[in-house]
Amino acid sequence: MGIFRSRPKRTVLVCCGTGCLANGSLEVYRELEKMVKGAGYPMKVKAAAKATGCNGLCEMGPIVKILPDDIFYCRVRVSDVEEIVRETLAGGRVVERLLYTDPAAGKKVRSHKETAFYKNQLKIALRNIGEIDPENIDDYIQRGGYRALEKALSKMKPENVIAEMEKSGLRGRGGAGFPTGRKWRHCAASDDTPRYVLCNGDEGDPGAFMDRSIMEGDPHSIIEGMVIGAYAVGSRQGFIYIRDEYSLALKNMSAAIRQAKEQGFLGESIMGSGFGFDLSIVRGGGAFVCGESSALMASIEGRVGEPRAKYIHATERGLWDKPTVLNNVETWANVPVIIDRGSDWFSSIGTGGSKGTKVFSLVGKVQNTGLIEVPMGISLRKIIFDIGGGIPGGKAFKAVQTGGPSGGCIPGSMLDLKVDFESLSGAGSMMGSGGMIVMDEDTCMVEVARYYTGFLAEESCGKCLPCREGLRRMLGILNDICAGRGRKEDVDTLLEICEALREASLCGLGKTAPNPVETTLRYFREEYLEHIRDKRCRAGVCPALTQYYIEGSLCRGCGLCAKNCPAGAITGKPGDKYTIDPDLCIKCGRCRQVCKFGAVSIGGGAAV
């Protein structure tokens, strides 16, 4: 025992998730691989380089982790690689300057586990991402992959699998939050066949990239989840619907399916159980509405991606009118862990109505932008200020928009809200797929509502009248308000259209589309009134309603504003007070950004 145990190999993990790739991590990886293989330095412990999926702390990318030493380097450039190999891999020393500085403690930390960003997280769906090479099935298996499938196939009846899922309390992570176990039970109870199992990988929310990261970084967790689901409901064919823009996700998922087939985790008689299931990928054309379940199925069937009425559930009549289970990427990735560790363990995490964890893409005006996974019930404050590190530039927090484009904006007074399905909808927002966009004091909430309404109007399929025409007219009104043409009855008209949208729209896109407008009206109504009544945008975002001027008493006459003004609108002599010519000013706000004395102020615009 243990005598011939091989010495632990040192592994260098280079994050090749979306954010790090954009920052040049692939070049870092290639250089590392070259140097490690070439081994210009004698190494006591053999090292191997691996490209992994997203580590989450995209802000600090490219990220390089070294195991088993547990060293965490960030913002690594190609020019740093030689030093890492020489010092750390060959010499066993830490390169201090590449370590992460924890802003809370203000000191360098060696392991990522010591940082506030990671410490407060709990990774279930993202358990393997950043730890394994997604293109290598052995990496997945080494971390316990396909163990849950084996357990399900050899020790559990389909009925037990469903019961276990029900007991776990897992709810769909795609938006609606329908209990997964109950969905499976409905489907299994149907007497119709064939039955289908689908995965929704059509992530379309601006700023959201959690499904993408799982497909890219841990594709086998989805496959394993789907095979377990298929076994539970008695399906022999499944489809993964992936938006075509996600080329790396497509590549890694395809490779994973191929490997799973080769190793007998897909195909006829999986792991010798006699149960057979096959899986194919369908590429989506990038329409936001195709993330809606019935539109997604229409798209798989080869029809135009438009939703249909869902009074009859997909579990009864779904794809090709056959019983169908559709879950999203994150939901499927949770399944193997629940089967492996048991429903009691899973349901011990989270709140009464929302069990487990949720992945959020934390973006916007927050220090640590990135991908996080937190237990349900954590407060918004903890997410934004502890994990997220607060608002950059000393600015004040204003609102957080959750749940994607048709989510709502939650104000600062509600920062202690516990994040789960119920509390977010109670606040007029929603969990959605887990987008979380932080906004600071420089954000105009009317403009935010206008932006999202514009996005939704663009993405509405146009089938039903309230969504197609309602969003279009709401956008018209919001355009008017932001341009200083708002009328005093506009708020009522907006609310009237909101009601029609929410109550009368055909699908979820239309029903939730009023959220941005309704929540900003609920929490920031004063800003609307300022735009309409006073022709003023307090954030200085809406150009027609913004006047920049220099406070004479504060101006020191340094001339920095005039030097930076792209329109030549600022005049004055060094040492004197400078002034802005409102006719020439293009309201870009540059002067306000550069002024060191806070002398540039925003006033209301002239009535248009």
Partner 1 sequence: MKIIIDGRECSARRGEYLLDVARREGVYIPTLCHLDALPGQSCCRMCIVEVKEGGRSKTVASCVYPVKDGIEVITNSDKIQRIRKTLVKLLYASSPQGKHMEDLLERYGPLPESRFEADEGEKCMLCGLCVRACEKLGAGAISIINRGTAKEVAPPFKEPPEACIGCGSCAHVCPSGAIEMKEEGGIRTIWDKDFELLQCTCCGRYIMTPEQYEHLKAKDPESEVVLLCEVCKRKKSADGFRDAFQNITFKNIAHP
DSSP H helices, 143-291, are: 147-155, 158-168, 180-189, 210-217, 219-233, 247-262
Specify which residues 402 forms β-bridges with: 408, 436
Of the residues 477, 537, 541, 555, which one makes contact with partner 1 according to CB under 8 A: 477
> Cα 593 vs. chain centroid, distance in angstroms?
29
* Region binding partner 1 by CB under 8 A among candidate stretches 61-69, 382-390, 402-410, 502-510: 502-510
Per rule CB under 8 A, is residue 297 in the interface with partner 1? no
Tell which residue, 530, 544, 537, 552, has the closest CA to residue 600: 552
Neighbours of 258 (CB within 10 A): 12
Of the residues 22, 45, 304, 584, which one makes contact with partner 1 according to CB under 8 A: 304
- d(CA 595, CA 252) in angstroms, rounded, equals 48
Joined together, the tokens standing for residue 417 give 């809200």
Of the residues 226, 478, 506, 585, which one makes contact with partner 1 according to CB under 8 A: 506
Per rule CB under 8 A, is residue 317 in the interface with partner 1? no
- d(CA 326, CA 240) in angstroms, rounded, equals 10
**How many residues sit in the footprint of partner 1 (CB under 8 A)?**
37
Residues in Cβ contact with 1 at an 8 Å cutoff, skipping those fewer than 6 apart:
none
* Region binding partner 1 by CB under 8 A among candidate stretches 252-260, 274-282, 408-416, 472-480: 472-480
By C-beta, is 268 or 503 nearer to partner 1?
503
Smallest separation, CB 394 to partner 1 (Å): 41
Residues in Cβ contact with 74 at an 8 Å cutoff, skipping those fewer than 6 apart:
57, 60, 61, 62, 63, 64, 98, 99, 100
Tell which residue, 214, 239, 209, 254, has the closest CA to residue 299: 239
By C-beta, is 4 or 311 nearer to partner 1?
311
Per rule CB under 8 A, is residue 335 in the interface with partner 1? no
Smallest separation, CB 177 to partner 1 (Å): 17
- Give the per-residue SS3 of 510-539: HHHCCHHHHHHHHHCHHHHHHHHHHCCCCC
By C-beta, is 462 or 603 nearer to partner 1?
462
- d(CA 296, CA 484) in angstroms, rounded, equals 40
Smallest separation, CB 288 to partner 1 (Å): 10
Count of alpha carbons within 13 angstroms of residue 178, beta-carbon side? 17
Per rule CB under 8 A, is residue 469 in the interface with partner 1? yes
Smallest separation, CB 512 to partner 1 (Å): 14
Per rule CB under 8 A, is residue 470 in the interface with partner 1? yes
By C-beta, is 92 or 285 nearer to partner 1?
285
Specify which residues 364 forms β-bridges with: 438
**Helix 329-341 with 147-155: angle, nearest 10 deg:** 60
Residue type, position 443, single letter = T
Smallest separation, CB 202 to partner 1 (Å): 15
Joined together, the tokens standing for residue 265 give 């985790």
Smallest separation, CB 464 to partner 1 (Å): 5
Per rule CB under 8 A, is residue 287 in the interface with partner 1? yes
Instruction: Map the footprint of partner 1 across residues 363-402, applying CB under 8 A.
Output: none
By C-beta, is 356 or 508 nearer to partner 1?
508
- Do residues 175 and 211 make contact, with C-beta atoms less than 8 angstroms apart? no
Of the residues 192, 344, 503, 576, which one makes contact with partner 1 according to CB under 8 A: 503
Tell which residue, 101, 100, 102, 66, has the closest CA to residue 81: 66
Smallest separation, CB 608 to partner 1 (Å): 17
Smallest separation, CB 571 to partner 1 (Å): 41
Instruction: Map the footprint of partner 1 across residues 480-499, applying CB under 8 A.
Output: 487, 489-490, 493, 496-497, 499
Smallest separation, CB 309 to partner 1 (Å): 4
Per-residue x/- marks for partner 1, 426-465, CB under 8 A? -------------------------------xxxxxxxxx
Backbone dihedral angles phi then psi of residue 488, each to the nearest 5 degrees? -70, -25
Smallest separation, CB 470 to partner 1 (Å): 6
Of the residues 30, 236, 472, 577, which one makes contact with partner 1 according to CB under 8 A: 472
- d(CA 262, CA 219) in angstroms, rounded, equals 15
Per rule CB under 8 A, is residue 312 in the interface with partner 1? yes
Smallest separation, CB 461 to partner 1 (Å): 6
Q: Given the rule CB under 8 A, which residues bind partner 1? A: 287, 289, 304, 308-309, 311-312, 457-466, 468-473, 476-477, 487, 489-490, 493, 496-497, 499-500, 503-506
